[in-house]
Amino acid sequence: MKADKVVGIIGGMGPAATVDFMARVMDRTPAENDQQHLRMLVEHNPRIPSRQKAMRGEGESPGPTLAAMARRLEIAGANLLVMPCNLAHAWQADIEAASSVPFISIIDASVESALSRSSNDSAIGLMTTPGCFTAGLYQQALADGGRPVITQTADELAALMSLVERIKGGDLSSELVTAVREEANRLVTRGAKVLIAACTELPLVLDESMFNVAFISSTDELAKKTVALAMGCE
Amino acid sequence: MKADKVVGIIGGMGPAATVDFMARVMDRTPAENDQQHLRMLVEHNPRIPSRQKAMRGEGESPGPTLAAMARRLEIAGANLLVMPCNLAHAWQADIEAASSVPFISIIDASVESALSRSSNDSAIGLMTTPGCFTAGLYQQALADGGRPVITQTADELAALMSLVERIKGGDLSSELVTAVREEANRLVTRGAKVLIAACTELPLVLDESMFNVAFISSTDELAKKTVALAMGCE
C-alpha cells in the first residue's frame, strides 16, 4: 500500500460540516476502490463549548477540549491534523501546543487559494460569522497577502449568523439558500471579485455556480490541501 | 448535557457508506444546534482487507483488523459500536470478543424493520453482494423470523457486485442508478413485497420512492437504531 498519512479530524463543529469535509476528501482522492482511499480518524464532538460564546467572552474556552482531542488523535495514529471549522482556528495555538503532528490551517488553505485565483488588486469579500470576524484570522492573513478586503457590517454579520444557525439546525431550504446568496451578493455589489465562504456551514448551501466572481469554499480548500499532503504530493 | 452515549464507528467499508451513515445519524437526531448532536468516534479505514476476497477464501481475514479497531474505539471512549457494512458482520464474533461495549448489528436492525413493515407471509427480497450472500447472515435471520426470502441468482449477484464496485469507484450516474433499480425489480417481479438493500453502497443510489414495495435501507435502519440506543430511547 501507499505510505500515505492518516488524517486526524477534530470534528463536530458543526456536525454536517464535518461530514461534508469527509465527503470532499473522498471526492478529491484519486481512488477506484475502497483500499485506495485515505484513512481518517474522526473525533466528532458536537459538545465542544460554543466558539461564538467564548469569542464574546461569555463562555468557557473550547481550547482545552480541542487540545485534548488533538492529543487523542495523535495517540490514535493521526499523522496530520485538520479541523473543518474556521472560528475554532482561534484556538490553533492550544492544539499545536498539545500535539506534535502537523496541523493544516483552513485559513491558510483558503487564503492561499483566494490569492492565487485573483489579480493583486482584486478585493476579497469575506463571509463569516461574528466570532470569526472578531478573531480576525482572515483579515490578518489577507493583510499579510497585501490584499484589500471587503468585510460585512455588524448587521450583516448578525444576519448571516442567524442563517448559519438555521443551517446547523438542518434548514437547507431554497428560501434559506436564497437568503445566504443575498448576503454574499452584498459583498459583490460593494466590489468583491472573490468571495471566501469562511464558515464551514456556508459551502453546505453555496457553490461557485451561484456567483459570477470566484468562490472559495473553505471546506473544499482544506479538503484539497489535506489530500495533497496526506498523499505526499506537497 | 444529556447522558447519551458515544457512538464508535468501525468505518471505511466503503468510505462513502460511512459518510452516508453519519449523515443519516444526524438527520435522525432531534437537534436544533451543534451541542444536541451525538458524539461519534470514527475509525475510517478503507484499507481493511477485502471482505469479498476473504469470503471467497482468497485473501487475508479482516477479523483481526476489525477487532483491533473495535478495541481502540472502546479505549477512546465509545459506549456503543456500529459498523456500516453488512458483509463485515460475518466477523462480528471477532469484534465482540475484542470489546466489551454493545455492538449494534446492521443485520438485526434491518431484519427487525423488514419483519415489522410487512405481513407474516410477505416474501422478502434480499439484495446483496456475493460475499454477504455466502455468509448467509440475512438468510438465517429471516429464516429465524419465519419469513420466505427471495434471493438473487448467481448471475444476479455477480451483476450487482459489478454495480457496487462502480458505486465504490464514485459512479452515481443515472445509468448506474437505473441498472441497480433493474436488479431490485427482478426480485419484485419474482414476488418480493419488501426489498432489503443489504449492502451499504445500495442506499447511496436507491430510496423508497423508487419502488412500489417497502424498501429497507440497511444504512438507515442502523442509523435509526443507533440514535435510539445512543439517546437511551430503547
- Tell me the pLDDT tens digit for each residue of A176-222: 999 999 999 999 999 999 999 999 999 999 999 999 999 999 999 99
**Containing structural domain, residue A167:** 107-218
Instruction: Tell me if A34 and B46 make a contact (CB, 8 A cut-off).
Output: yes
**Is A138 part of any domain?**
yes
Annotated catalytic residue within A48, A69, A70, A85: A85
Residues of A in contact with B76 (CB under 8 A): 43, 72, 76
Mean pLDDT, residues B101-120 taken together: 96
Q: Which pLDDT value is given to residue B87?
A: 97
CA proximity to B233, closest of B97, B116, B80: B80
Task: State the total domains in chain B.
Answer: 2
Are the beta carbons of A64 and A57 closer than 8 angstroms?
no
**Is A68 part of any domain?**
yes
> With an 8 Å Cβ cutoff, is A214 touching chain B?
no
The answer to whether residues A79 and A98 belong to one domain is yes
Are the beta carbons of A230 and A31 closer than 8 angstroms?
no
Annotated catalytic residue within A13, A127, A199, A229: A199
pLDDT above 50: residue A229? yes
Total Cβ atoms within 10 A of residue B69: 25
Residues of A in contact with B48 (CB under 8 A): 34
**Is A150 part of any domain?**
yes
Q: Which pLDDT value is given to residue A232?
A: 85
Respond yes or no: is residue A132 known to be catalytic.
Answer: no
Sheet holding A194-197, edge to edge: A149-150, A124-127, A194-197, A214-217
**What is the C-alpha to C-alpha distance for residues A42 and B203, in angstroms, rounded to an integer?**
23
pLDDT above 80: residue B131? yes
3-state secondary structure chain A: CCCCCCEEEEEECEHHHHHHHHHHHHHHCCCCCHHHCCCEEEEECCCCCCHHHHHCCCCCCCHHHHHHHHHHHHHHCCCEEECCCCHHHHHHHHHHHHCCCCECCHHHHHHHHHHHCCCCCCCEEEECCHHHHHHCHHHHHHHHCCCCEECCCHHHHHHHHHHHHHHHCCCCCHHHHHHHHHHHHHHHHCCCCEEEECCCCHHHCCCHHHCCCEEEEHHHHHHHHHHHHHCCCC
| Average pLDDT over all residues of chain B | 95
Alpha carbon B120 to chain centroid, angstroms: 23
Helix (H) or strand (E) holding B223: helix B218-230
> With an 8 Å Cβ cutoff, is B30 touching chain A?
no
**Is B1 part of any domain?**
no
> With an 8 Å Cβ cutoff, is B36 touching chain A?
yes
Annotated catalytic residue within B85, B87, B88, B115: B85
Instruction: Tell me if A39 and B45 make a contact (CB, 8 A cut-off).
Output: yes
Q: Which pLDDT value is given to residue B3?
A: 67
Instruction: Tell me if B13 and A34 make a contact (CB, 8 A cut-off).
Output: yes
Instruction: Tell me if B26 and A45 make a contact (CB, 8 A cut-off).
Output: no
The answer to whether residues B76 and B179 belong to one domain is no
* CB-based burial label for A49 (10 Å; 0-12, 13-18, 19+): middle
Helix (H) or strand (E) holding B186: helix B174-189
> With an 8 Å Cβ cutoff, is A39 touching chain B?
yes
- Output the nine-digit C-alpha cell for A226: 489535506
Total Cβ atoms within 10 A of residue A233: 8
Q: Which pLDDT value is given to residue B234?
A: 64
**What is the C-alpha to C-alpha distance for residues B183 and B179, in angstroms, rounded to an integer?**
6
B166 to chain A, closest Cα gap in Å: 8
Residue B217's φ and ψ, nearest 5 degrees, are -85, 115
The answer to whether residues A54 and A36 belong to one domain is yes
Q: Which pLDDT value is given to residue B120?
A: 87
Q: Which pLDDT value is given to residue B1?
A: 44
The answer to whether residues A125 and A198 belong to one domain is yes
The answer to whether residues B66 and B123 belong to one domain is no
The answer to whether residues B18 and B71 belong to one domain is yes
**Is A118 part of any domain?**
yes
**Is B133 part of any domain?**
yes
pLDDT above 70: residue B2? no
Q: Which pLDDT value is given to residue A32?
A: 86
Percentage of chain A modeled with pLDDT above 70: 98
A190 to chain B, closest Cα gap in Å: 32
The answer to whether residues B136 and B89 belong to one domain is no
The answer to whether residues B151 and B64 belong to one domain is no
Q: Which pLDDT value is given to residue B232?
A: 85
SS3 B81: strand
The answer to whether residues A225 and A138 belong to one domain is no
Which of the 8 DSSP states describes residue B12?
Answer: B
**Is A139 part of any domain?**
yes
Mean pLDDT, residues A47-56 taken together: 94
**Is A43 part of any domain?**
yes
Percentage of chain A modeled with pLDDT above 90: 91
Q: Which pLDDT value is given to residue A46?
A: 94
Mean pLDDT, residues A12-25 taken together: 96
The answer to whether residues B134 and B212 belong to one domain is yes
Q: Given pLDDT bands bounded at 50, 70 and 90, which one contains residue A3?
A: low
Q: Given pLDDT bands bounded at 50, 70 and 90, which one contains residue A117?
A: very high
pLDDT above 80: residue B85? yes
Percentage of chain B modeled with pLDDT above 70: 98
Q: Which of B27, B41, B169 sits opposite A32 (nearest CB)?
A: B169
A121 to chain B, closest Cα gap in Å: 38
pLDDT tens digit sequence for B205-227 = 999 999 999 999 999 999 999 99
Residues of A in contact with B74 (CB under 8 A): none
The answer to whether residues B113 and B93 belong to one domain is no
Q: Which of A6, A24, A34 to mutate to test the interface with B (most CBs of B within 10 A)?
A: A34
- Output the nine-digit C-alpha cell for A1: 500500500
pLDDT above 50: residue A1? no
For residue A79, give the CATH number of its domain.
3.40.50.1860
Are the beta carbons of B204 and B167 closer than 8 angstroms?
yes
Quote the radius of gyration of chain B (alpha carbons, Å): 17
Q: Which pLDDT value is given to residue B104?
A: 98
> With an 8 Å Cβ cutoff, is B162 touching chain A?
no
Instruction: Tell me if B1 and A47 make a contact (CB, 8 A cut-off).
Output: yes
> With an 8 Å Cβ cutoff, is A8 touching chain B?
no
The answer to whether residues A190 and A155 belong to one domain is yes
